[in-house]
């Protein structure tokens, strides 16, 4: 009764409705992926997927792309966001606007635009580096926001001045002082980028790359049971990634300074 | 542990937009001296300190250490230790790692670093706190570690930017004495920024009082308190009564408000010159009204308010001279109830005369 009083009936209704909305399709997909006959269940479809060389190839290719994108995004964005916070705060609204452009410009427009722009350099259009560069743009809203939030939580001016006063140049300050405090933000940015790269279909398909998303789409069109198994596997990857963020960042928050007074 | 150096600030100017934050500051700090920059918020004291540290670039002027200009030396190469107003320990490093960080950047060996860190921790009496993180230390301990971190580098000049302002009163007093004791022991040239006049008076060899980007007066704490060069200094440092007056003759003045004469002794001021008389609350003596004995130099007054300050009580007095503040020993204040009539006399030797602006 006490729980009911604290949590009114309508709240229970919406909670259950939301749970059903998310969990029922998942349950249906899981059940479908486990069906090996009219009334028999097993992991056969999972085996088929895992043993498919294309699965491993496309997944590894996408993971490699994801790592390249993460590295490129961080190398580009960490000094940029640091610089904006420290030396160019007036540029913040401009960069914020630029960072949301990937939401406004559809991936198909980006891909077609890039193909048109680099028409004369076919080797570049067919290189995986181009794809990584485009994914950096796609991940920009998430990378920028995660790093911006991380740096806003720090008294960056005082920490940077303190580092300078003991003899650290700005790159050393960034590496030794700022970056260790951005662990959570960097991990969040990295995992969001990996999720985007693993799920991106339009650009890779248009540029004729056989990424994991392209493979999922292909399986979805040709093999219904395997597609359901693949969907559950992808869901599992995402959860593993989320758990990794949780485990890697656990206890870090308490190392933040307890008070920053200016 | 440190080698002290002389610091000179010459014709320093810094403008932020339309505002002149620093407007022609000249200062010389002798090797081993403790000089405080004292002033209200916005007086430019922190900007001066940040320019000396290399965090801000001046529009013009120069900073010299031991006679050599450091204007073109970047902040991280200036060899100046700094303690900030905000807690500035690196949160992901332990106390020891914080102290060793600067030493590591200078390429010191592990053993040398450990020795220096131990020495610095011992200096601030935190030897047992080497493995703690900033969030495991109190505010006072964090500032002591910040001091140890600055001193471990054996800086030529120590800069302190209101390091006590975030601490509670008791810790502030304790740490203030500790900073002064360490500074005296090491003989390190120190520039200390504060807006707390009591702190500046207690800790400094000399004080530079700043207002609107300019140095108003430089002097020892006693000089600043007892011989303020302007009514701003008199009113900012300690409490003062300010009374408009004019010179009557070659030894007396008369207060504008009541015409009351006060004999100061021989002076060289011209008759009828308009002046301001500044007198501290402790320069006014109070006697009960019935004990006057007909003395004409005494001024009648009524007690309007009592403010208990511990050993003394501050009285607000309504008198023909205007509203005056006077300090009496708290034990005597019991016999001076609110509303009672008293007689006050001004100690001529405690009156400071300044030209009226």
- Tens digit of pLDDT for each residue in B42-86? 999 999 999 999 999 999 999 999 999 999 999 999 999 999 998
Q: What is the CA radius of gyration of chain A?
A: 23
Tens-digit pLDDT profile for chain A (262 aa)?
555 567 788 889 999 999 999 999 999 999 999 998 878 889 999 998 889 999 999 989 998 999 999 999 999 999 999 999 999 999 999 999 999 999 998 889 988 888 888 888 888 888 888 899 999 999 999 999 999 999 999 999 999 999 999 999 999 999 999 999 998 899 889 988 988 998 899 999 988 899 999 998 999 888 888 989 988 988 888 788 778 777 876 655 444 443 333 3
Q: What pLDDT does A123 receive?
A: 83
Q: What pLDDT does A4 receive?
A: 58
C-alpha B152 chain-centroid distance:
26
Q: Are A187 and A245 in contact (CB under 8 A)?
A: yes
3-state secondary structure (DSSP) of residue B10: strand
> Rounded mean pLDDT of B184-197?
94
CB contact under 8 A, B90 and A159: yes
In a domain? residue B192: yes
Identity of the residue in A164, A176, A255 whose CB atom sits nearest the CB atom of B91: A255
3-state secondary structure (DSSP) of residue A227: helix
Q: What pLDDT does A254 receive?
A: 45
Kindly state the tokens that stand for A235: 């869901």
CB contact under 8 A, A181 and B146: no
Identity of the residue in B76, B139, B146 whose CB atom sits nearest the CB atom of A167: B76
Q: CA-to-CA distance for B123 and B147, rounded, in angstroms?
A: 9
In a domain? residue A19: no
> Nearest-CA distance from B266 to chain A in Å?
51
In a domain? residue A155: yes
Question: Residue B224: how many CA atoms within 13 Å on its side-chain side?
Answer: 31
Identity of the residue in B84, B85, B102 whose CB atom sits nearest the CB atom of A167: B102
- Tens digit of pLDDT for each residue in A38-76? 788 899 999 988 899 999 999 899 989 999 999 999 999
Q: What pLDDT does B264 receive?
A: 79
Q: What is the DSSP letter of B314?
A: E
In a domain? residue B1: no
- Residues of chain B with Cβ-Cβ distance to A167 below 8 Å are 76-77, 79, 102, 105-106, 153
> Nearest-CA distance from B321 to chain A in Å?
43
Q: What pLDDT does B357 receive?
A: 79
- Residues of chain B with Cβ-Cβ distance to A166 below 8 Å are 101-102, 105, 149-150, 153
Identity of the residue in A159, A168, A176 whose CB atom sits nearest the CB atom of B88: A159
**Residue B321 is part of which domain span?**
241-355
Q: CA-to-CA distance for A145 and B198, rounded, in angstroms?
A: 46
B116 pLDDT band (50/70/90 cuts)? very high
C-alpha B247 chain-centroid distance:
32
Q: Return the higher-pLDDT residue of B295 and A119.
A: A119
Q: What pLDDT does A262 receive?
A: 34
C-alpha A101 chain-centroid distance:
17
In a domain? residue B178: yes
Using a 10 angstrom Cβ sphere, with 0-12 exposed, 13-18 middle and 19 or more buried, the burial of residue B25 is: buried
CB contact under 8 A, A164 and B139: no
Instruction: Give the residue numbers in A contacting B (CB under 8 Å), as ranges.
Output: 155, 158-159, 161-169, 172, 176-177, 180-181, 254-262
> Rounded mean pLDDT of B108-128?
93
Same domain, B216 and B130: yes
> Rounded mean pLDDT of B296-322?
90
Kindly state the tokens that stand for B302: 């009524």
Kindly report the CATH number assigned to the domain that includes residue B337: 2.40.50.100
Handedness of CA B203, B204, B209, B214 (dihedral sign): negative
**Residue A92 is part of which domain span?**
28-255
Does B2 score more than 60 pLDDT?
no
CB contact under 8 A, A155 and B74: no
Identity of the residue in A162, A256, A258 whose CB atom sits nearest the CB atom of B88: A162
Q: CA-to-CA distance for A196 and B259, rounded, in angstroms?
A: 86
In a domain? residue B84: yes
Q: What pLDDT does A257 receive?
A: 43
Q: What pLDDT does A168 receive?
A: 95
CB contact under 8 A, B87 and A177: no
For residue B62, the tally of other CB atoms under 10 A from its CB is: 14
Domain boundary, last residue among B173, B202, B236: B236
Q: What pLDDT does A126 receive?
A: 81
> Nearest-CA distance from B146 to chain A in Å?
9
In a domain? residue A44: yes
């Amino acid at each position: 009764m006490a729980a009911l009083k604290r949590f009114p009936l309508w709240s229970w209704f919406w909670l259950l409705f939301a749970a059903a909305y998310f969990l029922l399709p998942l349950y249906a997909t899981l059940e479908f992926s486990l069906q090996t006959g009219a009334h028999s269940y097993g992991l056969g479809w999972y085996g088929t997927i895992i043993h498919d060389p294309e699965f491993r190839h496309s997944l590894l290719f996408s993971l490699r792309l994801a790592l390249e994108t993460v590295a490129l995004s961080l190398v580009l964005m960490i000094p940029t966001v640091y610089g904006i916070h420290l030396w160019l705060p007036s540029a913040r609204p401009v960069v914020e606007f630029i960072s949301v452009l990937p939401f406004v410009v559809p991936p198909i427009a980006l891909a077609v635009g890039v193909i048109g722009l680099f028409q004369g350099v076919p080797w570049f259009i067919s290189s995986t580096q181009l794809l990584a560069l485009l994914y950096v743009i796609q991940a920009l809203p998430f990378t920028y926001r995660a790093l911006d939030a991380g740096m806003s939580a720090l008294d960056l001016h005082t920490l940077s001045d303190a580092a300078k006063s003991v003899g650290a140049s700005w790159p050393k300050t960034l590496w030794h002082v700022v970056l260790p405090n951005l662990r959570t933000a960097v991990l969040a940015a990295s995992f969001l980028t990996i999720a985007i790269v693993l799920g991106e279909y339009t650009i890779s398909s248009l540029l004729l790359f056989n990424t994991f998303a392209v493979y999922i789409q292909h399986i979805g069109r040709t093999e219904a049971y395997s597609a359901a198994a693949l969907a559950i596997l992808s869901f599992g990857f995402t959860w593993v990634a989320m758990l990794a963020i949780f485990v890697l960042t656990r206890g870090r928050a308490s190392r933040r300074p307890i008070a920053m007074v200016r | 542990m440190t080698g002290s150096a002389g610091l000179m600030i010459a014709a320093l100017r810094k403008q932020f937009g339309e505002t002149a934050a620093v407007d022609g500051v000249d200062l010389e700090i002798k090797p081993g001296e403790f000089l405080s920059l004292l002033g209200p918020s916005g007086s430019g004291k922190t900007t001066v300190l940040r320019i000396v540290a290399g965090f801000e670039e001046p529009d013009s002027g120069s900073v010299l250490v031991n006679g050599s200009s450091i204007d073109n030396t970047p902040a991280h190469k200036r060899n100046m230790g700094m303690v900030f107003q905000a807690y500035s320990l690196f949160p992901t490093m332990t106390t020891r790692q914080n102290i060793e960080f600067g030493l590591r950047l200078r390429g010191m060996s592990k053993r040398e670093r450990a020795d220096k860190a131990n020495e610095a921790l011992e200096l601030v009496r935190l030897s047992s706190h080497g493995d703690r993180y900033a969030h495991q230390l109190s505010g006072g301990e964090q500032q002591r570690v910040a001091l140890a971190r600055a001193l471990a580098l054996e800086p030529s000049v120590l800069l302190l930017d209101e390091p006590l302002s975030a601490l509670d009163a008791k810790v502030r007093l304790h740490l203030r004495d500790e900073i002064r004791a360490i500074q005296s022991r090491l003989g390190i040239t120190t520039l200390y920024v504060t807006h707390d006049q009591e702190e500046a008076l207690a800790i400094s060899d000399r004080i530079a009082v700043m207002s609107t980007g300019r140095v108003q007066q430089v002097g020892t704490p006693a000089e600043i308190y007892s011989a303020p060069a302007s009514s701003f200094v008199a009113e900012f440092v300690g409490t003062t009564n300010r009374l408009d007056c004019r010179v009557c003759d070659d030894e007396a003045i008369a207060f504008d408000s009541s015409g009351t004469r006060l004999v100061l002794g021989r002076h060289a001021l011209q008759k009828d010159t308009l002046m301001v008389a500044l007198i501290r609350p402790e320069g006014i003596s109070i006697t009960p009204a019935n004990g006057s004995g007909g003395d004409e130099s005494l001024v009648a007054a009524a007690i309007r308010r009592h403010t208990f300050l511990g050993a003394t009580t501050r009285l607000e007095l309504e008198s023909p001279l205007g509203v005056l503040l006077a300090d009496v020993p708290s034990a005597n204040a019991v016999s001076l109830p609110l509303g009672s009539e008293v007689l006050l006399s001004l100690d001529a030797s405690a009156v400071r005369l300044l030209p009226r602006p």
